[in-house]
Amino acid sequence: MEQRYRLGDVLISRGEIAKKTAELAAKVAADTPQDADGNRELIVVGILTGAVFFLTDLVRELPEDMDVRVDFMSVSSYGNETKSSGVVRIFHDLKTNIEGRNVLVVEDIVDTGRTFAYLLELLQSRNPASLRTCVLLDKSARRETEVRVDYCGFNIPDAFVVGCGLDCAGMWRHLKDIRTVRTQS
Ligand code: PRP
**Residues 162-172 pLDDT 10s:** 999 999 999 99
20: enclosing H helix or E strand: helix 14-31
Residue 123 gets the label, from left (phi > 0), alpha (psi -120 to 50) or beta, of alpha
Residue 165 lies in a domain: no
- Structure confidence at residue 78 (pLDDT): 58
- Structure confidence at residue 79 (pLDDT): 54
- Structure confidence at residue 85 (pLDDT): 57
Residue 4 lies in a domain: no
pLDDT in tens, 108-119: 999 999 999 999
- Structure confidence at residue 77 (pLDDT): 72
Per the omega criterion (within 30 degrees of 0), is the bond before 49 cis?
Answer: yes
Residue 7 lies in a domain: no
1/176: higher pLDDT: 176
Residues near ligand 1 (Cβ within 6 A): 47-50, 76-78, 84, 107-116, 167
Residue 183 lies in a domain: no
Q: Could you give the number of structural domains in the chain?
A: 1
- Structure confidence at residue 88 (pLDDT): 81
Residue 184 lies in a domain: no
pLDDT in tens, 70-129: 999 998 775 555 555 567 889 999 999 999 999 999 999 999 999 999 999 999 999 999
Residue 51 CA, ligand 1 centroid: distance in Å? 9
Specify the amino acid at residue 117.
A
**Beta-bridge partners for 110:** 138
Instruction: Read off the pTM.
Output: 0.93
Using the atom order of ligand 1, give the atom closest to the CA of residue 78.
16
Residue 78 CA, ligand 1 centroid: distance in Å? 6
What mean pLDDT do residues 16-24 have?
Answer: 98
Residue 167 lies in a domain: no
Residue 36 lies in a domain: no
Residue 184 CA, ligand 1 centroid: distance in Å? 23
- Structure confidence at residue 83 (pLDDT): 58
Pairing of strands 41-48, 102-110: parallel
Residue 142 lies in a domain: yes
Which residue lies with its CA nearest to atom 22 of ligand 1? 50
Which residue lies with its CA nearest to atom 20 of ligand 1? 50
Computed over every residue of the chain, the mean pLDDT equals 93
Q: Which of 115, 137, 173 to mutate to test the pocket of ligand 1 (most atoms within 8 A of CB)?
A: 115
Which sequence positions are flagged as catalytic?
Answer: 111
User: 59 lies in which domain range?
Assistant: 14-31+42-156
pLDDT in tens, 146-160: 999 999 999 999 999
- CATH classification at residue 116: 3.40.50.2020
Using the atom order of ligand 1, give the atom closest to the CA of residue 107.
7
